[in-house]
A and B are shown apart, each in its own frame.
Chain A
Amino acid sequence: MSGSRLPVRIGLPIGVGALLLAAWWIASAADAFPVGTVPSPEAVGRGFVAEARAGRLLTDVIASLYRVGFGYVGACVVAIPLGLLLGRSRLARTALLPWINFFRTLSPIAWIPFAIIWFGIGDPPAIFILFLATFFQLALATAGAAAGVPRVYYRVAEDLGLGKAEILFQVTLPAIMPQLLVALRVAIGVAWMVVVAAEMIAVRSGLGFLIIDARNGLRMDLVVVGMITIGAIGVALDAVFARLARSPAVRWGYER
């Protein structure tokens, strides 16, 4: 598929989307759904236009991206060094891996009560939830990648006289980059998925809040507006990582 021509790469998914839209439209026009359960495409379209014109949609998108950005980048900043330590130190693995696995299996939603008590209202509790949603899996993925770096690279680095910092930046990080990029790609998807839950608490903006607020007002058309916007941004974020994965600095990891 990666080698297919641009019109096919873009046209095919758009065609599938048009088919789904047509099916939705026909089912709505034929009153196939019980009243109030699925909004019509026209209602969703009107909702889109109204939210965009009022500027609320853009504000919500920015608010959600801001929280996901902070939570995700914060998780990367802590999880990647921790993962490198876990990958290179048997002692650190023995001490910390069971605990990371313990916390990894807890749903970020379980932390909501603590998030509110510890961080109050506003952005911090949502950012905390988004941090937790990505931190543990990123740490584990980095640890796995770092532990799997072939020993021969380190022996070559010793021969070349590289120092510890040079080995980190010129050997370990480039060596784990293909796997790390996959983990980062999965993690941004998870963070974006969890944004709805994170914005259920103590915030009054964001796409998650839009969905919760619309549900409370029984505005299912706006719920779908929020869902479509989240999905579209998710696809765009994934496309950024897919583009990064084509860089020569990491492509070797997928082509060997």
Chain B
Amino acid sequence: MTAVITLDAVGFGYGAVTVLDRLDLEVRRGELLVCVGPSGCGKSTLLALLGGHLAPSRGRIERRGASRTIYQDGGLFPWLTVAQNVALGVPRGASPAERTRKVDDWLGTAGLAEFRDHYPHQLSGGMRQRVELGRALVAETDLLLLDEPFSALDYQSRVRMRRELAATLQARPRTVVLVTHDIEEAVQLGDRIVVLGARPSSVRRTLELPAGRRPRLPADPGVAEAEQIILDELGLS
């Protein structure tokens, strides 16, 4: 499987504080890679490095192709309507008619057609995340970077969004890197899970999960074992 992004002994710090230290990681085309780790270990920093928004202090990052990042909350432009936000995601060469069609198609699919002229602050948290997901998906870029995208949502919305994400990826497979502190989310969605240690963090463990339905259920093969391993690695068992 070809690598979309390769990190080779990457280090990063803010001033005197080292956040990531000698991190080796490969993101494979078509996989859903989940990064879990303790709070403050540099998960979001890692995603910013993967997205090309930060340059490493040490080591090398090789990126192949463009990416779109979806943030925990507040990634939508609040001065634009739902339709305008999604339209921004459409590739730049698209004609106005094509742009409108893509936006309308997506809003229809996501059940947000009646909210097309609403502003983000007029939507629920789950709807905002769906719009942000839509802005990323209409771009047709292969690589999606998700920075704790569902953590600001209530439990039911979170479960619903996991299902929607899984269904979206089944319909149109993409490469996804998901950063989360939610172990349940990691084992339900991930093809591979990377466990990061405390700061300065590096990869403590990588788990491969068996292929099958997503989101996985607690009784599915490998789920309970993976959860236990992650808890052990994070010192939480």
Contact = CB atoms under 8 A, between A and B. Distances in A.
Contacts of A161: 66, 92
Contacts of A177: 79
B69 A252 contact: no
Given A155-B51, A155-B53, A159-B67, A252 B79 contact: yes
A171 B75 CA distance: 12
Contacts of A251: 119
Interface in B107-127: 119-121
A248 interface: yes
Nearest to A248: B119
A153 interface: yes
Contacts of B79: 174-175, 177, 249-250, 252
Interface in B38-93: 48, 51-53, 66-69, 71, 74-75, 77-80, 88-89, 92
Interface of A: 150, 152-153, 155-156, 158-161, 171, 174-175, 177, 248-253, 255-256
5 contacts: A152-B74, A155-B71, A158-B52, A177-B79, A250-B79
A150 B92 CA distance: 24
A155 B67 CA distance: 11
A155 B145 CA distance: 12
Nearest to A156: B75
Contacts of A156: 69, 71, 75, 77
Contacts of B75: 152, 156
A251 B80 CA distance: 11
Q: Which 4 A-B pairs have the closest CB atoms?
A: A174-B79, A252-B78, A155-B53, A256-B121
A253 B68 CA distance: 26
Contacts of A248: 119
A224 B56 CA distance: 67
A155 B89 CA distance: 13
Contacts of B66: 159, 161
Given A171-B77, A174-B79, 20 more contacts: A152-B74, A155-B71, A156-B69, A156-B71, A158-B52, A159-B51, A159-B66, A159-B68, A159-B69, A160-B89, A174-B80, A175-B77, A248-B119, A252-B78, A252-B119, A252-B120, A252-B121, A255-B121, A256-B78, A256-B121
A12 B89 CA distance: 48
Contacts of A158: 52-53
A155 B74 contact: no
A255 B74 CA distance: 14
Contacts of B89: 160
Nearest to B141: A159
Nearest to A153: B77
A65 B77 CA distance: 36
